Structure 1
Amino acid sequence: MAKKPGLGKLYIGTSNIVVPGNRQSFPEPFRTKSRLHYYSTLFNSLEVNSSFYKVPLGRTFERWTTEVTPGFCFTVKLWKGITHNKLNYDPAEIEKFLLAADHLKDTRACLLIQFPAGIRSDLSGEVFEILNNVRLADPEEKWRIAVEFRHQSWYFREIYELLNEYDATMVIHDIPASRVTEQLTDAAFVYLRFHGPKGDYRDSYSDEILAQRAAQIFKWMKAGKDVYAYFNNTIGNAFDNAALLKKMVNELSKPRFA
């Protein structure tokens, strides 16, 4: 999508690579290429969820950069050993993670930091210590920080103010038990995660819901915000939902003449 002066950019894709069919069903020019390369011709960003379970090697991240088309970017999810082990971690693990992920170089986008439902706002000191350690490991702020909470206790003014101190954004997601209001931080970007209409990573979003989302995304873009949108309903219809939302936003961004 061409960027108009003052217009934010949409980065859209799925959580991990989702493309229909196998390599032999790809268009002929892509059958000898990687799934990642083909995916990068369809969407301009990928949310890497595999890094949540195991930290890829630096050379793996570097190889990915050679397989994508120009302008593509990666969001990387922070390893669960840092966020999901009752916040019992060694700060050196954050530095180690980012040293590997920094091999993405110019294709870096966001660092997604997702906390489980058991982490509530009474642990805000420990949570924001993680953000502080991320910034210490990334003093040039090459990564945009997106924080996803899974408990309602986090959604109040003081938390948004603390996120502002790290130039971080609150992830807007749709898991019913911890659905987020659409209040924004002061960060220059918005981050959306679509976990499925029921929040169970299944099923498909209706055209009506996607049209509503497209209109809101375009409003944010007109306000100068970049928007990252990832579909995590990978057991359902993530690919088609992402493709349709991309098309809807593109239609809204086309010049209109009298």
Structure 2
Amino acid sequence: MIEIGLTGWGDHPDVYAPTSSAKDKLVDYSAHFPVVELDSTFYAIQPERNIRKWIAETPDNFRFIVKAYQGMTGHHRGELPYASVEEMYKQFRLSIQPLQEAGKLAMVLVQFPPWFDCTKENVQEILFICKRLEGFDIAIEFRHQSWYSSDYQEGTLGFLRKWNLIHSVCDEPQAGVGSIPLIPETTRTDKVLFRLHGRNVQGWRNLSGDDQAWRKVRYLYNYVETELQEIQTAVQKLNAETEEVFVVFNNNSGGHAAQNAKRFQKMLDINYESLAPKQLDFFEGEW
């Protein structure tokens, strides 16, 4: 089974009804896609009331890929807003527990930064995180190329298999050691994650030092037909090897993610059932 979705539900105007307000965006989104990557959890551990609201707004079979809080993965700068590391993990677990209880938690995505390279110390850090997230399905995404070097690639995949971790396959710009190659390999028989970041090589690295401006251009990319065909080949390989392939388009900056995802869905001849009812037929336009 192939489940296609997007990162977040707040920046995809193509899927919203004309009369919808901001509070309706998730409802509109869930009329089109069966899964979403919840990235607000990366910036702040969400209060339980938000989680329960999102559970209530989505169909029974809708699922969330929850991105791990930045304080867990080495992205956070400055002092953590928690009394201790243990308290941070406790609050994160409590926050997402309702999703798991509702059967709507697909996995927790633990994405490491580009400077998190393949070392013994960092392998131990992964195990440290996994121990504190025990009981949840965990996907691991690397950004440093060393994990997939000729010396370490088999060891990396073997490590993920040994600890029952989901491999986050990525399509992203090939821009040096801070990006990884497309390696369509599964490490579990039930789930694999495939995230598409676009191929904006110039925008991938922050050469200006301006984080805000950089984030606007990093994921500015529109996949063309031939590129989607390459992705299709990789996804079909993964689909033959595991029960569920979660495909998430993250090229949001220019509004291309929804269009690309809809086009990809059409290429695969996928029609999702039991989604929230679409409000207007014109949502089924040419993608």
TM-score by length of 2: 0.74
Instruction: Give the distance between the partners of 2:126 and 2:55, measured in 1 at CA.
Output: 31
Three-state SS of the structure 1 residue aligned to 2:56 is: helix
Instruction: Give the distance between the partners of 1:85 and 1:19, measured in 2 at CA.
Output: 26
Paired position in structure 2 for 1:235: 253
CA distance 1:50–1:86, shift in 2 (3 Å): closer
Mapping of residues 187-202 of structure 1, within 5 Å = 187-198=189-200, 199=204, 200-202=218-220
Retained in 2: the 8 A contact 1:168–1:187? no
> Which shifted more, 174-183 or 195-204?
174-183
C-alpha RMSD of the superposition: 2.6
Instruction: Give the distance between the partners of 2:33 and 2:154, measured in 1 at CA.
Output: 34
Distance apart, 1:10 and its partner CA: 1.5
Retained in 2: the 8 A contact 1:77–1:114? yes
Paired position in structure 2 for 1:147: 140
Paired position in structure 1 for 2:235: 217
Retained in 2: the 8 A contact 1:196–1:203? yes
> Which shifted more, 88-97 or 47-56?
88-97
Instruction: Give the distance between the partners of 2:3 and 2:12, measured in 1 at CA.
Output: 17
Instruction: Give the distance between the partners of 1:44 and 1:154, measured in 2 at CA.
Output: 31
CA distance 1:216–1:73, shift in 2 (3 Å): same
Distance apart, 1:251 and its partner CA: 5.5
Distance apart, 1:99 and its partner CA: 1.4
Q: Deviations over 1:133-178 (max 9, x none)?
A: 211xx2xxxx321111110111222222221133112211133232
CA distance 1:37–1:185, shift in 2 (3 Å): same
Retained in 2: the 8 A contact 1:215–1:249? no
The gaps in structure 2 that reach 5 residues or longer are 205-217, 272-287
Instruction: Give the distance between the partners of 1:43 and 1:22, measured in 2 at CA.
Output: 10
Paired position in structure 2 for 1:166: 163
**Residue from 49, 59, 76 that aligns with 2:49:** 59
Retained in 1: the 8 A contact 2:26–2:57? yes
Q: Deviations over 1:181-207 (max 9, x none)?
A: 223323422211111122520120011
Distance apart, 1:179 and its partner CA: 2.0
Mapping of residues 245-256 of structure 1, within 5 Å = 245-250=264-269
Distance apart, 1:80 and its partner CA: 0.2
> Which shifted more, 63-72 or 212-221?
212-221
The gaps in structure 1 that reach 5 residues or longer are 1-8, 253-258
Which aligned segments of 4 or more residues in structure 1 are displaced greater than 4 angstroms?
21-24, 30-33, 85-89
Retained in 2: the 8 A contact 1:167–1:187? no
Instruction: Give the distance between the partners of 1:33 and 1:93, measured in 2 at CA.
Output: 28
Instruction: Give the distance between the partners of 1:124 and 1:68, measured in 2 at CA.
Output: 36
Distance apart, 1:24 and its partner CA: 5.8
CA distance 1:195–1:224, shift in 2 (3 Å): closer
